[in-house]
A = this chain, B = another copy of it.
Amino acid sequence: MTEAAARRRGRRTRTESASTRDRILAVAREEFSARGYEKTSVRGVAKAAGVDPALVHHYFGTKDQIFEAAVEDAVAPVLHAPDAVADGPLDDVGERLTRFMFGVWENPVTRTPLLAIVRSAVDNEAAASVFRRLVVSQLLGRVAGRLGRPDGELRVELAAAQLVGCAMLRYVIQVEPLASVDVEQIIARVAPVVQGHLTGP
């Protein structure tokens, strides 16, 4: 086999694998979103993706690991966007975090998988553990590191509690008037609270 042929073959194999893997992942995201963690099965994901269950296990491992991959895929914008959010000046980090969080929730494309994660995390220990590891350690841990204070983690979590609670009442439980009021009104009231938790006395 020539080098070029090997490269072509390698490329094609990688591409085919990637597309099967991606298809399984997309199906898994849909299934977890629609049915929740408990009611989703490896067998069901395999069937919907048109592959053998063994192939799902081959690519992703256990159901917990498939869920984790699906969540990681779904929250990629939350985990990877915030370089600018976490790295900018500390004196308006509260506003950046608040705007970022509401931006993700106001966008229907990112809201749907987030709703699925929140629903699963509330209902299931495996899902809660994925939520803790991905969202808390990765996203919040970076902000806590920047604060450089011994109580940095607790500060970040209380700030996150304000944002998580807003998301619960506005997007999940849909309490009025919070569910319908213009998002800028909420940001104006919440950003100073988030800032206070992070850098206040």
When distances are taken between beta carbons in the complex, the residues of chain B under 8 Å from A122 are: 118-119, 122-123, 168, 172-173
Count of chain A residues with Cβ under 8 Å from any Cβ of B? 38
Determine if A121 is an interface residue (Cβ-Cβ < 8 Å). Answer: yes
| Known A-B contacts A119-B122, A123-B36, A185-B154; A193 and B196 likewise in contact (beta carbons under 8 Å) | yes
A120 to chain B, nearest CB (A): 9
A181, B153: Cα distance in complex, Å: 11
Interface stretch of the complex, out of A19-27, A57-65, A159-167: A159-167
Is A190 among interface residues, defined by CB-CB distance under 8 A? yes
Structural contact, B166 and A121, CB atoms closer than 8 A: no
Query: Are B175 and A136 in contact (CB-based, < 8 A)?
Result: yes
A35 and B124 alpha carbons, distance in the complex (Å):
12
Q: List B contacts of A185 (CB < 8 A).
A: 154
Q: CB within 8 A of A164: which of B119, B160, B165? A: B165
> Contacts of A166 on B, CB cut-off 8 Å?
158, 161, 165
Contacts of A118 in B (CB 8 A): 122
Per-residue B-contact encoding for A24-36, CB less than 8 Å = 1, 0 else: 0000000000001
Pairwise interchain contact A123-B128, C-beta atoms closer than 8 A: no
**Which B residue's beta carbon lies closest to that of A122?**
B122
Please indicate the chain B residues that have their CB under 8 angstroms from the CB of A36 in the complex: 123
Q: Please give, as numbers and ranges, the residues of chain B lying within 8 Å of A162 by CB-CB distance.
A: 161-162, 165, 193
Return 10 A-B CB contacts under 8 Å, by A number: A122-B168, A122-B172, A128-B174, A136-B175, A154-B181, A163-B165, A165-B165, A165-B168, A189-B197, A193-B196
What are the 6 tightest A-B residue pairs by CB atom distance, in nearest-first order?
A165-B165, A161-B165, A164-B165, A157-B178, A161-B166, A122-B122
